[in-house]
Amino acid sequence: MQGPPPGIEAVTTSQAKDVTNCPHCGRYVGPLELCPYCRKIHRKRPVITWLKYLSPLLAIAGMVYLNHLGKTEGNPRVKVGDLGPTSNFAYVVVEGTVCEEPRFYRATGSQDPTAGSLEFCLDDGSGQTRVKTYEDATRRVIAEKKLPAMGDHVRVTGNFQTRLNKHSIIVGSPHEIEILGLDEPIELSVEDIARAPKEKFEPLTPAIVTGWVQFNYNDRNKGYSAVIHLSQDREKKKKERYLQVELAFSRLELEGLMSPGARSWAGIPEAGSKLKVKGSLKWNGKGKHPGWRLHPAWVADIEVLERPADSEGGDDEAR
């Protein structure tokens, strides 16, 4: 049999035969120290031997160091404007302000009033993203009272996902939603807000307002929120503009103040009541009379200071 052409053997075999070949039988043994053919010991260079036995220890030390970094450094805090397709599925921390009333979508056919999904909009100044929870995470967020309100400053930790130019942060635990609170509210009158132009207030400005209930819109078939119309004085003045106070029906359900599917909120303050309301201001440009609306976080933020003298505790009819 004809052997390989000259020079081919030098190319196809190891260039360091003193290391890879057995010095006793001349056969290739690679990294083995015990020749499988002649059973002789083939000692490697000390640096290779040390590297061989230190590799597992270095790997363990690296894992310990990574674990330490994870506990001390935590997840990276990022800006919404910096997130994009290359950040898909990244585990991130975003801090911002809840810019819309959180929305709760009840699971179809479930008897559990807290079964479903929850989402809210978060604005950190560089952009907006939606924060979502599903199934068990939603139940735990509601049970542990981690449901934020519009205007709240929150820190969210979750999994960033983007698809078709729409992105969101998926939260899997109530511990990943940290409510940092509201700014200190300022006291304003009904007139200060009702006729204020869009440029007068910053969006989501926290405010406290005292006024008198003139009438309510409290019909779920006509909107998503119960709306209380406040005036500056007990008696309505000519051409007076009302301040609308809105409280979402879904939040009333989550507070246990409305049964699922109920048409109206039975506990809405009736006409003639004097209220002190704390909430966040948001501009509404729709309808015949665009203007600022006041959004309380919870029903507890609506304090009834005085009830009408002829009140019998009945509900105010929706108008």
Query: Quick one: pLDDT at residue 313?
Result: 46
pLDDT (tens digit, 9 = 90+) per residue, 184-238?
Answer: 899 999 998 998 999 999 988 999 999 999 999 999 888 889 999 999 998 877 7
The predicted model gives 138-148 an average pLDDT of 86
Q: What are the extents of the domains in the chain? A: 16-73, 80-181, 186-306
Q: What is the CATH number of domain 186-306?
A: 2.40.50.140
Q: Does 186-306 match 80-181 at the fold level?
A: yes
In this predicted model, which residue has the larger pLDDT, 76 or 143?
143
**Could you tell me the CA-to-CA distances from 216 to 17, 269, 317, 319 in Å, in that order?**
93, 8, 7, 6
Fold of 80-181: OB fold (Dihydrolipoamide Acetyltransferase, E2P) (2.40.50)
Total Cβ atoms within 10 A of residue 105: 13
User: Which neighbouring-strand residues pair with 230?
Assistant: 213, 243
Say what the pTM is.
0.68
pLDDT at 292: 94
Say what percent of the chain tops pLDDT 70.
Answer: 91
